[in-house]
Amino acid sequence: MKEYKMSKLRNLLMMGAGGSGKTSLAEQIFHLTKTTTRLGKVDEGNTVMDFDSEEIAKKSSLSLSLGFLNHKDHKINLLDSPGTPDFIGDAIVAIPAVENVLLVANATGGFEVGLELAIEQVERKKVGKAVLVNRMDNEHADFYKTIEAIHENTELNPTPIQLPIGREGGFEGVVDIIRQKAIRPSGEGDVPADMQSAVEDARLALMEAVAKTDEELSNSFLENMELSEEQLLGGLKKAVAAGEICPAFCCSASTGVGVMAFLDGVCDYLPSPEDANPIQVLKDGEAGELVATPDGELLGYVFKLYADPNMGDYAYVRVFSGSLKSGMDFYIPEKDAKDKAGNMYYMLGKNRQDTQEIRAGEIGAMVKLKNARSMDSITAVGSKLSMPLPELPTATYWQTIRAANQSDEDKIGTALQRVIAEDPTIRYELNVETHENVISGMGEQQLQLVIKKLKNRYKVDALMKEPRIPYKETITGSGESQYRHKKQSGGRGQYGEVFFRIKPTERGEGFQFINSIVGGVIPSNFIPAIEKGLVETLEKGIIAGYKVVDIAVEVYYGSYHDVDSSEMAFKIASSMALKEGFKKCRPILLEPIHELTIIVPSEYMGDVMGDVSTRRGRIMGMEQRGKKQYLNAQMPVAEMYFYYPALKSFTQGRGRFTQKFSHYEKVPDEVAAKVIAAWQDSDA
């Protein structure tokens, strides 16, 4: 395959709401540039980018995909990300792999939730941002209204580079403001007479925006009230690379009108890997910069795994500096491990083109890596470089998962690890408190997809259900107890007697065992058995089946029998004495409380605050950031597990939250009574 200079490469990640037409746009781009020989359709399940069986069935992108094309002697790498909020993790991890994020907006959809979430991920990042208003041929399509909605609701201010010629069914082309040319599928021509004034105004607005980003350009503009085309182009590319100007384009992916003009704009106005220098890196863990060059120090980044049942795991890789060659050893600093580059490809959906080398600025794929996973850096052996890790959102939806059939229990672990490796926002762990395998992520649709992939790819049926709440048991009062375990039923008997003083400890101190036996009333060799009986009982719980915490037990007296006493007898006596004494010490349940940051548009604040209160939550404070309110709250996990669907429903999908564990506190009596009763019924 032809080698491209860094200046002739463009890396473009498409983000936006589901239904805005990202996959259809990619399909039209591949068709018009003769990358493919036919135009696929999402509804027909034959597009390049949506090739997974689940995507074809749902007619929607569920995973990041990768393609490439040649246009005007440039190579453009196109990354298509899902628009459903559940799958935002793919895009977040891919943002560091590109110089440009293309925000695809639906000209008829208003300010959609998926677009808002996409903009939130990039508006404060130093990455090139461009807006493409798609579906311009649809009824009620409005380029200006769409641009204004983005400006009103976010910190982005999209600046038109192109203006539409005609609207709705009459959308027939675009005007390039910089070159002042009308571009239709039939070719280039003069600006329509009725648009000349609008084009002049838009060109002046663009020059002002570019001039503001550079002192020299600003002085030149103030002197002449004009920038030369060279000044405008150079300043625009630099400002886009720095994230200071967001150019806006328009097209119709279904008819193809405006698509080639947009591609011209990508080559002419958006930054290349060379323009994006220097890149932000970590050097020995400290923030630094690297000027990326083809012959510089090797630095790459794995931004996606795709588990192919036949080929193994594809690792999608961006190389920033240096070059990665087949057969080469490299180092993964995050794993402190080496790996070896095997077969390499340039990907076009599921199709691949062999290559022996992925050079600086390029994006490709490797298979069968032993250690490299998503978000890992690739460096030369012995290097001190690495990429800063992207910040992923915390889980907002939780389920337990297990194999439906006992025969699949051995297989599910391995299959599950391969499936969830494709999406870094999915977490899977054993909850040591409830002894359940808990899978968590961004929403129900995301976790249901895991179940489908397990079945379709690995023939493993799995079941999910709501997790148990990891309550804990403790006491609020002190007391004493005594228990004698005595059993005579022929042969050797069992005998052990213990006297306990039981009291609460400070929250978080755990369990304390105090041995106050004097005079040998219990031989010292039985003391460990007494402690073991306590520990086992505390683990299993006493009133509701949950671990007991923050309790001190002092054994101060007892008795034994020379023949019949044994470790088992004292273990049983210890357990029974604790159970009886525990109930005298005003036992309570503790529940985990999490800190939530709830992010909503201001108009929903009243509803959100009221709802938090009904969920036994507490408002801890709030602040406005940009166009959003950030509400800090505390909420019991019992309520938080089911919070996200409710938050989405009364904010029209625009509310979201992040969370982390805070502390344990007492469960209200009426809630505790239900939990205890449910356990006793199940234990009966």
Give me the mean pLDDT over the 80-103 stretch.
95
Q: Which of 244, 269, 294 is the last residue of a domain?
A: 269
Q: Is residue 423 part of a domain?
A: yes
Q: Is residue 683 part of a domain?
A: no
Residues 332 and 446 in one domain: no
Residues 418 and 364 in one domain: no
Give me the mean pLDDT over the 9-32 stretch.
96
Q: Is 60 exceeded by the pLDDT of residue 684?
A: no
625 versus 68: which is more confidently predicted?
Answer: 68
Q: Encode pLDDT of 434-457 as tens digits.
A: 889 999 999 999 999 999 999 988
3-state secondary structure of 541: coil
Q: Encode pLDDT of 364-401 as tens digits.
A: 999 989 999 999 999 999 999 999 999 999 999 999 99
Q: Is residue 428 part of a domain?
A: yes
3-state secondary structure of 33: coil
* Residues across the chain: 684
Distance between CA 240 and CA 236 in Å, rounded? Answer: 6
Q: Is 80 exceeded by the pLDDT of residue 491?
A: no
293 confidence band (pLDDT: 50, 70, 90): very high
Q: Encode pLDDT of 183-211 as tens digits.
A: 999 999 999 999 999 999 999 999 999 99
Among 101-105, 319-323, 405-409, 486-490, which is the least confidently predicted range? Answer: 486-490
What residue numbers bound the domain in which 311 lies?
279-386
Residues 15 and 124 in one domain: yes
Q: Is residue 552 part of a domain?
A: yes
Return the pLDDT at 495: 94
Distance between CA 641 and CA 468 in Å, rounded? Answer: 10
What are the Cα distances from residue 307, in Å, to 310, 423, 457, 498, 597? 9, 11, 9, 59, 34
Residues 258 and 312 in one domain: no
Residues 431 and 447 in one domain: yes
Return the pLDDT at 76: 98
Q: Is residue 680 part of a domain?
A: no
Q: Is residue 682 part of a domain?
A: no
Q: Is residue 14 part of a domain?
A: yes
Annotate 319-336 with three-state secondary structure.
Answer: EEECEEECCCEEEECCCC
Give me the mean pLDDT over the 50-62 stretch.
88
Return the pLDDT at 53: 83
Total number of domains in the chain:
5
CATH of the domain at 625: 3.30.70.240
Residues 121 and 60 in one domain: yes
The per-residue pLDDT of the chain, averaged, comes to 93
Distance between CA 133 and CA 150 in Å, rounded? Answer: 11
Q: Is 70 exceeded by the pLDDT of residue 490?
A: no
Closest among 461, 457, 418, 425 to 443, alpha carbons compared: 425
Q: What is this structure's pTM?
A: 0.90
Within 10 angstroms of residue 62's Cβ, the number of other Cβ atoms is 24
Residues 113 and 178 in one domain: yes
311 confidence band (pLDDT: 50, 70, 90): confident
| CB 515 within 8 Å of CB 558 | no
Return the pLDDT at 683: 66
What are the Cα distances from residue 112, in Å, to 253, 289, 682? 18, 36, 46
Residues 190 and 287 in one domain: no
Q: Is 90 exceeded by the pLDDT of residue 52?
A: no
